[in-house]
């Protein structure tokens, strides 16, 4: 890839190389071990023209999203968050049964089922056919496919314009951003609003969350680059909020330019991003140094436990866990298994590193000495669920933002 996916100018500067990795969500079956898994370079760069942080090489989306194992409703925290978002949007936009809400990257329909409760018409868009089935069971009609100019034109002709568009956690997935935003400009009603939630680049930098970098996320969003992108298509970010969910999120409200005046929060965030150097390559080079330091510390912690004859396992098999395992060189010789609540991952093996994924109950049956918490963004929720393990003397290793044994 040579040109920036936001401003389409050449000259992106690479600042972090996480090595060659497999696709982070491609958990494999036992019989697939030993066969070659596709590997792709995982390198990140910064565009000095528009400030956008992005992957240097992009994997075609169908390889990652046509069958998807991440299900929104399996995390209580996330489910509550999405239902809360639906209620807020219904109130803020005074939506009625005449309005249509379209969710892009609608997953299993969790967010839209929140809109349904308020009587709003809904439509999901998601490329994963397996998830569309789960959504339909919730009464959420879902178009299976990718969103862009062509899909928007088709859906608008069939369903009319959308009063509200939402996208939670899928905005970083989109390689053809200009086509995607053209689609938004088509689908959105004149006074309509789009609500986007995505990881916030500032949080990623402040938390050393290098493991949230994997092939699915071709973008790492700051407001400066996002505003640049929307402005190219007659849209603008009119409000922003930072939220603690996952590892820190940015919620943006987008409308047609001139519909409403951007809030002071927008101006403040743009100024803050400049202030902390998010417009400078040197900031990202410093982040890359921190990632390497964390790798050393974490490897030392695990090696020490193994040297003492302790048993170490993992908890949580999120996609980002695979960036961490690969970058650190951790395999089944370090972790006996990884426990996870998702039935779609249990019985499978981590891509590339081949650690077995087992049901969450295994932790208590087994009482290992240490549990490496790969889903560290849900640390509080998981440690709450596993309080008995800790009461019996078990310890968690939290890898990010800094190595902690608790």
Please, which residue, 13 or 390, has the CB nearer to Zn ion? 13
Task: State the Cα–Cα distance between residues 268 and 337, nearest whole angstrom.
Answer: 45
What DSSP state is assigned to residue 54?
E
From the list 23, 50, 95, 235, which residue makes contact with Zn ion (rule: CB under 5 A)? Answer: 50
| Alpha helices in 248-391, H assignment, sequence order | 264-275, 281-307, 319-328, 362-366, 379-385, 387-391
* Contact region with Zn ion (CB under 5 A), list: 41-49, 54-62, 153-161, 354-362: 41-49
Q: How far is the CB of 46 from Zn ion (least distance, A)?
A: 9
From the list 26, 52, 246, 320, which residue makes contact with Zn ion (rule: CB under 5 A)? Answer: 52
Q: 309, 357 in Cβ contact below 8 A?
A: no
Task: Convert residues 4-33 into a mask of x (bound to Zn ion by CB under 5 A) and - (unbound).
Answer: x-xx--------------------------
Q: How far is the CB of 204 from Zn ion (least distance, A)?
A: 18
Q: How far is the CB of 191 from Zn ion (least distance, A)?
A: 30
Nearest residue to Zn ion, by Cβ distance, number only: 4
Please, which residue, 56 or 78, has the CB nearer to Zn ion? 56
From the list 18, 47, 181, 187, which residue makes contact with Zn ion (rule: CB under 5 A)? Answer: 47
Please, which residue, 45 or 124, has the CB nearer to Zn ion? 45
* Contact region with Zn ion (CB under 5 A), list: 43-51, 197-205, 287-295, 327-335: 43-51
Q: 366, 51 in Cβ contact below 8 A?
A: no
Q: Are β-strands 219-220 and 53-55 bridged in parallel, bridged antiparallel, or unpaired?
A: antiparallel
Please, which residue, 130 or 224, has the CB nearer to Zn ion? 224
Q: How far is the CB of 11 from Zn ion (least distance, A)?
A: 9
Task: State the Cα–Cα distance between residues 47 and 17, nearest whole angstrom.
Answer: 16
Task: State the Cα–Cα distance between residues 27 and 345, nearest whole angstrom.
Answer: 7
From the list 37, 40, 49, 224, which residue makes contact with Zn ion (rule: CB under 5 A)? Answer: 49
- The DSSP-derived string for 380-392 is HHHHHHTHHHHHT
Q: Which helix H or strand E contains 40, and what residues bound it? A: strand 40-47
Contacts of 329 (CB under 8 A, 6+ apart): 299
Please, which residue, 37 or 279, has the CB nearer to Zn ion? 279
Give contact residues for Zn ion (rule: CB under 5 A): 4, 6-7, 47, 49-50, 52
């Amino acid at each position: 890839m040579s040109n920036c996916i936001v401003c389409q100018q050449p000259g992106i500067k690479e600042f972090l190389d996480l090595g060659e990795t497999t696709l982070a969500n491609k958990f494999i079956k036992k019989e697939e071990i030993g066969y070659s898994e596709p590997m792709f370079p995982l390198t990140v760069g910064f565009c000095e023209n528009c400030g956008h942080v992005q992957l240097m090489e992009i994997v075609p989306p169908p390889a990652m999203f046509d069958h998807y194992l991440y299900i929104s409703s399996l995390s209580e925290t996330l489910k509550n968050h999405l239902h809360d978002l639906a209620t807020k949007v219904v109130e803020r936009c005074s939506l009625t049964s005449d309005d249509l809400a379209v969710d892009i990257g609608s997953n299993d329909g969790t967010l839209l089922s929140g809109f349904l409760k308020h009587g709003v018409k809904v439509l999901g868009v998601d490329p994963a056919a397996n998830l569309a089935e789960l959504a339909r069971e919730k009464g959420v009609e879902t178009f299976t496919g990718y969103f862009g100019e062509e899909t928007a034109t088709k859906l608008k002709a069939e369903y009319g314009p959308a009063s509200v568009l939402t996208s939670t956690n899928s905005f970083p997935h989109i390689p053809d951003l200009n086509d995607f935003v053209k689609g938004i400009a088509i689908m959105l009603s004149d006074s309509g609003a789009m609500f986007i939630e995505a990881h916030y680049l500032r949080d990623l930098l402040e938390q050393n969350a290098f493991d949230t970098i994997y092939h699915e996320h071709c973008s790492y969003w700051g407001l400066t680059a996002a505003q640049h992108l929307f402005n190219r298509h007659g849209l603008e970010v009119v409000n922003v909020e930072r939220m603690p969910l996952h590892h820190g999120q940015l919620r943006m409200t987008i409308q047609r330019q001139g519909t409403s005046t951007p809030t002071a929060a927008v101006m403040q965030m743009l100024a803050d991003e400049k202030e902390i150097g998010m417009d400078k390559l040197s900031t990202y080079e410093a982040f890359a140094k921190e990632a390497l330091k964390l790798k050393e510390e974490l490897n030392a912690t695990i090696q020490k436990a193994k040297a003492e004859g302790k048993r170490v396992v993992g908890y949580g098999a999120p996609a980002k866990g695979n960036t961490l395992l690969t970058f650190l060189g951790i395999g089944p010789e370090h972790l006996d298994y990884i426990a996870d609540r998702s039935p779609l991952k249990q019985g499978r093996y981590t891509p590339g590193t081949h650690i077995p994924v087992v049901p969450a109950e295994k932790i208590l049956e087994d009482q290992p000495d240490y549990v490496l918490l790969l889903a560290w963004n849900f640390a509080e929720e998981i440690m709450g669920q596993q309080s008995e393990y800790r009461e019996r003397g078990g310890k968690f290793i939290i890898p990010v933002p800094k190595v902690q044994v608790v």
